Amino acid sequence: MVTSRWTAAPAQASSPRRRGAVLERAILEAALEQLGTVGWNGLTMEGVAARARTGKAAVYRRWPSKEDLVADALQAGLPNLTEAPDLGSVREDLLELCRRVREAMFSQPGFALRSVLHECDVTQAERFNRVILGGVVEPTMRLLRAVIHRGIARGEVRADADNPYVFDVIPAMMMYRSKVCASEWSDQDLQGMIDQLMVPLLRGGAA
């Protein structure tokens, strides 16, 4: 199940004295919106403050640099991949999991993350590796393991498919095709990957 860490906030125009968690959430949301409109290079702390309708001092008190602010915004905003699908077959479970990963990748925080990775330099990009690992890769791998382990228990999947190389296939394919090939992963693409690659791989023979 994909859930958001945030729920829609009420209009802030009549609440100029926002503080604490409410103000922080407004600033983090503003950072994601700015990444989506002006990108990493165009984002400024002043622009985020204006979007959040607060002073830039309020932003700098919490985040001393743009890198700190963006890392927290991405980490807080990425949807949670929290529960492995259980639809009765490994094919359907993998397909549903891929749909959830696609939803996360093409969410506002997902677009913001790609903006950061495409525009920032190598040193800056290293700063966001933990966000990618903790927010996208590791949750996906955990749910993949659960789906494949369940498939082994049902006799659908060969026992030696429980290995890190198999677990790497879907995240590697989705990240590569999205980042390098600009693929948006239609349902047809996801079905092709599952039917032509993953099912034969997991069963050790023809799909």
Q: Model confidence over 111-156: pLDDT tens digits? A: 787 778 778 777 777 777 777 778 778 888 999 999 999 999 999 9
Tell which residue, 113, 107, 40, has the closest CA to residue 80. Answer: 107
Tokens of 29: 């949301």
Phi, psi (degrees; rounded to nearest 5) at 81: -100, 100
- Ranges for all domains in the chain classified under CATH 1.10.357.10: 78-203
Q: What is the pLDDT of residue 11?
A: 41
Kindly report the CATH number that applies to the domain delimited by 17-66.
1.10.10.60
DSSP 9: P
Is 78-203 in CATH node 3.20.20.210? no
The predicted model scores a pTM of 0.73
- Ranges for all domains in the chain classified under CATH 1.10.10.60: 17-66
Compute CA 16 distance to the chain's CA centroid, rounded to the nearest angstrom.
32
Q: Which residue has the tokens 């890769």?
A: 137
Query: Which residues on neighbouring strands pair with residue 80, listed in sequence order?
Result: 3
DSSP 2: E
Distance (Å, rounded) from C-alpha 12 to C-alpha 83? Answer: 33
Q: Which of 153-167, 171-185, 189-203 bottoms out in mean pLDDT, i.e. has the lowest? A: 171-185
Of the chain, the end-to-end C-alpha distance in Å amounts to 27
